[in-house]
Amino acid sequence: MPRPIEEFPERGPASLKSMAEWAARCRACDLWRDATQTVVGEGPRSAALMLVGEQPGDKEDLAGKPFVGPAGRLLDRALAAAKVERDAAYVTNAVKHFKFRPRGKRRLHQRPDVREIEICRWWLDQEVRLVKPAGILAMGATAARSLMHKPTTISRVRGTVLPYEYAAFPCLLLVTVHPSALLRMPDEAGRHAAFTDFVRDIETLWQALEHHPA
């Protein structure tokens, strides 16, 4: 895969499998140097719902799969509460490599910078193009920025179903928090309330898809 973002191919991959093979060779930014592997999305190509997070974490980097760590388990609980089967959704991240700083034997998460988000948007765009979801749930500020092509304050747009203007087909977008934000909340009452709100956001988008043209 060419290094400069300007040299990404004009025509993207023809399948999710070939996209994963292309992405494994991506050197467009430097995050690949320290990451174990590229972590692309997972789920059926026919998924009506796409879930987009920030980036793979430590567990995801090692497993090569998105949302398999603590945030992933919380996401599974929220989907179940909203009566959405995870196997029916395509789950991915805005950035495909784990960005971290080492501290002893631990690898501490670092938020991707603007350039890394913008470079990796090409891969997210390919996933959107190939899956053609009816709705996208942007989880967290990085996902929202990547999908909306601008900085986004979650509190201003959260829970509102919007048309996703960067798809070449009818698609809805809803911005919410990242599951990891709930895990960082210090008190149980706050986590419970935040979890309820998170489930409500998933339900809002899922219900909107019932009335959305295929």
Q: What is the rounded average pLDDT for all residues in the chain?
A: 93
Inter-residue contact 35 to 29 (CB < 8 Å): no
* Average of per-residue pLDDT across 60-85: 97
What is the residue-wise DSSP string for 150-209? S---HHHHTT--EE-TTSSS--EEEEE--HHHHHT-SSHHHHHHHHHHHHHHHHHHHHHH
The owner of tokens 């919410």 is 176
Helical H runs in the chain?
Answer: 16-23, 58-63, 70-81, 114-131, 141-148, 154-157, 179-183, 188-209
pLDDT above 50: residue 82 = yes
**Cα(212)–Cα(175) distance, integer angstroms:** 17
Provide the whole-model pTM.
0.94
**Token pair for residue 122?**
């090409």
Task: Find how far residue 121's CA is from the centre of its chain.
Answer: 11
**Token pair for residue 210?**
């019932």
Percent of the chain with pLDDT over 90: 90
* Average of per-residue pLDDT across 81-109: 95
**Token pair for residue 120?**
């990796």
CB neighbour class for 213 (10 Å; exposed up to 12, middle 13-18, buried from 19): exposed
pLDDT above 60: residue 139 = yes
Does residue 137 come out as left (phi exceeding 0), alpha (psi in the -120 to 50 range) or beta? beta
pLDDT above 50: residue 2 = no
pLDDT above 90: residue 80 = yes
* Average of per-residue pLDDT across 169-187: 96
pLDDT above 60: residue 6 = no
**Cα(98)–Cα(45) distance, integer angstroms:** 24
Q: State residue 1's pLDDT score.
A: 39
Domains present along the chain, CATH in parentheses: 15-209 (3.40.470.10)
